[in-house]
């Protein structure tokens, strides 16, 4: 679809959500979806109108959630997400949960600290930046002299490092993240499915909308497909970026980055009245 979804078309595509909004789940990624991608993650503030649109939806739908690779508390702090009534923020792809001011953070996976120390050395050699996240860490090459070359050089070394320490590599837009695997592994598809299985009232969602922009969001797109197959209307929205064209190729809706996501959410608010 194009970067602008006409309201008449949107109302048809989301008819089930509009018909019963109290049983709807609306969830979004943070970086690249609600907030523009920036060189410094500490400056990743929401696009104008994003928090306001989420807050307006929160009073109209069963649950508004944010699913992010960031630590949950960081997304709440940077995004001002505590201004969204009843919002649930799942951090580190669903490992952490923030709700009503309460943060649930499980122990970091074994081997993470040692892997992080080794990755710091590797990142320094190519001008990349390491971002500790508590339960995982990310190596960003966006600010390196050669972002593409640095990513290609780091990938095999970080894959080997992850294997050595019982972790896995999560690729993204100029970033490679090392995090838990096996029983401790949670992805955005798992996280979205769990949210859809039980809204705050204890009942399952009757419709689901998820917006994302990066490779880590494809698991949530797959969850939307599984929900549809099982009979629950569910739609994926790509905040399109030339850095991750495969995300737009897999989405039900395609909008123009965070600005397009805000416009889509605002349009949904209007449809719900």
Q: How far is CA 113 from the centre of its chain?
A: 24
Distance (Å, rounded) from C-alpha 84 to C-alpha 91?
16
Which among 16, 29, 107, 256 is annotated as catalytic?
29
Between the CA of residue 168 and those of 91, 115, 157, what are the distances in Å?
Answer: 17, 11, 12
The two three-digit tokens of residue 109, written as one number: 């996976």
Q: How far is CA 171 from the centre of its chain?
A: 13
- Are 265 and 57 spatial neighbours (Cβ–Cβ below 8 Å)? yes
- Indicate the burial class of 106 (C-beta count within 10 angstroms; 0-12, 13-18, 19 or more): middle
For 171, residues 6+ apart whose C-beta sits below 8 A from its C-beta are 155, 177, 215
- Strands 137-140 and 175-180: what pairing? antiparallel
Scan for tokens 């991750």, then name that residue: 244
> DSSP string of 112-151?
HHHHHHHHHHHHHHHT-EEEE-SS-EEEE-TTSSSHHHHH
- Are 212 and 239 spatial neighbours (Cβ–Cβ below 8 Å)? yes
Catalytic residue list contains 29:
yes
β-bridge mates for residue 236, sequence order? 210
Enumerate the active-site residues: 29
């Amino acid at each position: 679809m194009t970067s602008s979804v006409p309201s008449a078309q949107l109302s048809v595509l989301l008819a089930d959500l509009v018909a019963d909004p109290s049983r709807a789940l609306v969830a979004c990624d943070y970086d690249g979806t609600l907030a523009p991608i920036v060189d410094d993650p500490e400056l990743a503030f929401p696009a104008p109108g994003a928090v306001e649109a989420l807050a307006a939806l929160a009073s109209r739908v069963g649950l508004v959630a944010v699913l992010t690779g960031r630590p949950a508390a960081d997304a709440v702090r940077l995004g001002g997400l505590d201004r969204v009534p009843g919002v649930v923020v799942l951090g580190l792809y669903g490992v952490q949960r923030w709700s009503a001011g309460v943060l649930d953070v499980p122990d970091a996976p074994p081997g993470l600290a040692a892997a992080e120390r080794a990755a710091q050395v590797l990142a320094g050699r190519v001008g990349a930046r390491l971002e500790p996240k508590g339960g995982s860490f990310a190596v960003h090459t966006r600010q390196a002299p050669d972002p593409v070359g640095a990513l290609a050089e780091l990938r095999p070394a970080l894959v080997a490092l992850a294997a050595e320490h019982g972790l896995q590599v999560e690729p993204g837009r100029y970033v490679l993240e090392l995090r838990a695997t096996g029983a401790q592994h949670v992805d955005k598809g798992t996280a979205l499915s769990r949210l859809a299985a039980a809204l705050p009232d204890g009942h399952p969602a009757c419709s689901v909308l998820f917006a994302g922009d990066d490779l880590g969001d494809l698991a949530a797109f797959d969850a939307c497909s599984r929900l549809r197959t099982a009979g629950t209307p569910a739609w994926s929205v790509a905040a399109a970026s030339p850095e991750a064209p495969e995300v737009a190729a897999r989405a039900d809706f395609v909008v123009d980055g965070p600005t397009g996501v805000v416009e889509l959410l605002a349009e949904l608010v209007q449809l719900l009245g």
